[in-house]
Amino acid sequence: MSSNISDIYQRLKSNGYSNEYILDSLVESEGVLLHGSRVDISDNYIRPNNKGEVFATDLASIAILKAIVSNRGLIHPGLQYDWIINEENPLVLKIHGIREFTIGSVGFVYIIPDRNGFRNEPEGSWQYIKKGSRAHFSFKIEVSRDDFTYPIYDVTNRRKIQ
């Protein structure tokens, strides 16, 4: 499947489509999940966090958010955005305690071809969780801050960033 995903990505990219559109198309046509991270992973596996969980999403906008925006060092509640994202409830990111390094310039979205072991939690949301084992990815896409086109608010300083 990775060559198919690579072919689809290259074809759509060469036709001028955005990374978000391409990633959403892959979710729709190939049934993949996405994982966003600022870390460039080289061994084709996403390791579980310290609670033994791997997080993924079926929304490109969330994967790109996770690839560009870090939640490290923020004040509670950190990053805020809704569990349900759609045309009636578009993505808006609120950041509490933003720091200089919170929003990065580049990140990576990993394509997870196999949903086995992932469960949708909370049900109906964009989030998928796999417990107890790593997740294989077949392809990664470098994304930039420009790929995240949604409103960002610095709640602490009461200002719109984007």
R_g of the chain computed on alpha carbons: 15
CA geometry: angle 83, 85, 87, nearest 5 deg: 160
Convert the pLDDT of each residue in 68-123 to its tens digit.
999 999 999 999 999 999 999 999 999 999 999 999 999 999 999 999 999 999 99
Convert the pLDDT of each residue in 31-54 to its tens digit.
999 999 999 999 999 999 999 999
Burial of 63 (0-12, 13-18, 19+ CB in 10 A): buried
DSSP string, 115-136: -TTEEESSTTSSEEEEESS-EE
Structure token digits, residue 117? 């072991």
Going along the chain from its start, the domains and CATH numbers come out as 2-160 (3.20.170)
Contact 41, 108 (CB under 8 A): yes
